[in-house]
Amino acid sequence: MPDNPQPLVSPADVPGFVCAYRFAADGTARKLTEADIDPELSSPEGEWLWLHLNFIDRRCGRWLARSGRFSTLAIDFIEHIPTYQLIECFAADAAGSVADLRRDFEGETHETCRLHFLLSENVLVTLRAKPIRSAELIRRQLDAGRALETPAQLLLAFFSHYAQGIESVLQDLATEIELIEDRVLEERVSDERRRAVIVRREAAMLHRQQRALRRVLSDAQRSAPRFPADLSDLLELHAHLDQEFEQIEQRARLFHDEIDAKLAAETNRQLYRLSVLTALFLPPTLVGGLFGMNLEGIPWSGVHGGFWFATAAALISSAGTWLFLRYLDRS
């Protein structure tokens, strides 16, 4: 056994490290490894740092507190994340927890998750418990040469990618609604009711998250007009998304009700047919029951061909019932 065993966790380790980039004064980015990260999150003059962490590692908050780059209130916010979306602006820092779309390695997903962040003058730290779509898109853009001059612009890029992702989800939901509409207009209703319910539920859940984010961004801009940048275009896009969500939910509700009405009408038609058949077979059943009694005095019991007389009586009774039902329909 070695005399000096290596510790399981090195003091130089960055808890939950996912990726990091250092940005020059002109906004160009250089990818960093975990070994390149200074525990004090320092950067050369005129440069700034983006650090992306996996919040599953609960040491993240304590490690960020030891860096000394963020206020006690900002660190306390990260260590006690609220259950709702919120952005808090402190003296020189900002902290927040907002919605984002989860990244699925098998393709696009409509599931939402949370993005937490700490923003200071020269550092942006983002934290997540599940892979998020915006972070992956931004990493690809940075590797392709995209330039960002300030941490606030990078944070705004996260918000913009989420809004664009929601737009893509809305297009998928609108396409699904149009397919349901085509089936309904063609009178080929089968599982469209279940599909309409799924669209309504998904649109309602996403709309709830998007509406909360819009409120949070509006509050942040009102309380700190310079945070993180000019949000007017982004808020205008969210207003447009609100209208799109309302239209999707309204159309899904309309088709849901129309499908229910069509299914109810089809059920009524089936019940009407069953009622007609019951009414048509009731008189012959009565005739058959009467002639089935083994009693004296039954008509045609001693007449050759009496069976055919009874059969004719049953048919005549059914025909009479049918004519009576037609008369009721016309009247």
Domain boundaries, the chain: 7-148, 274-330
Token pair, residue 157, equals: 């890029």
| More reliable by pLDDT, 318 or 107 | 318
Which residues sit opposite 115 in a β-bridge? 98, 128
Distance between CA atoms of residues 217 and 228, nearest Å: 10
8-state DSSP, 70: S
Q: Judge if 7-148 and 274-330 fold alike in CATH terms.
A: no
Cα 264 to chain centroid, rounded: 29
What are the backbone dihedrals phi and psi of residue 85, each rounded to the nearest 5 degrees, phi first? -75, 140
The b/e string for 64-92 (b: 16+ C-beta within 10 A; e otherwise) is: bbebebbeeebbebbeebeeebbbbbbee
Q: Sheet harboring 86-89: ordered strands across?
A: 29-32, 17-23, 48-54, 123-128, 112-119, 94-101, 86-89
Distance between CA atoms of residues 20 and 29, nearest Å: 10
The mean pLDDT value of the chain amounts to 83
Question: Which residue type is seen at 272?
Answer: Y
167-225: pLDDT as tens digits = 999 999 988 888 888 877 776 666 777 888 888 889 999 999 999 999 998 888 887 65
Distance between CA atoms of residues 241 and 122, nearest Å: 32
pLDDT of residue 226: 56
pLDDT of residue 138: 95
97-132: pLDDT as tens digits = 999 999 887 766 788 999 999 998 889 999 999 999
Q: Quick check: 2 pLDDT over 50?
A: no
Q: How many C-beta atoms lie closer than 10 Å to residue 188's C-beta? A: 9
Q: CATH second-level architecture of 274-330? A: Up-down Bundle (1.20)
In 41-197, DSSP assigns E strands to 48-54, 86-89, 94-101, 112-119, 123-128
The domain 7-148 belongs to what CATH superfamily? CorA soluble domain-like (3.30.460.20)
Token pair, residue 2, equals: 């070695």
Radius of gyration of the chain (CA): 36
Distance between CA atoms of residues 225 and 232, nearest Å: 10
- Stretch 261-269: mean pLDDT, rounded? 76
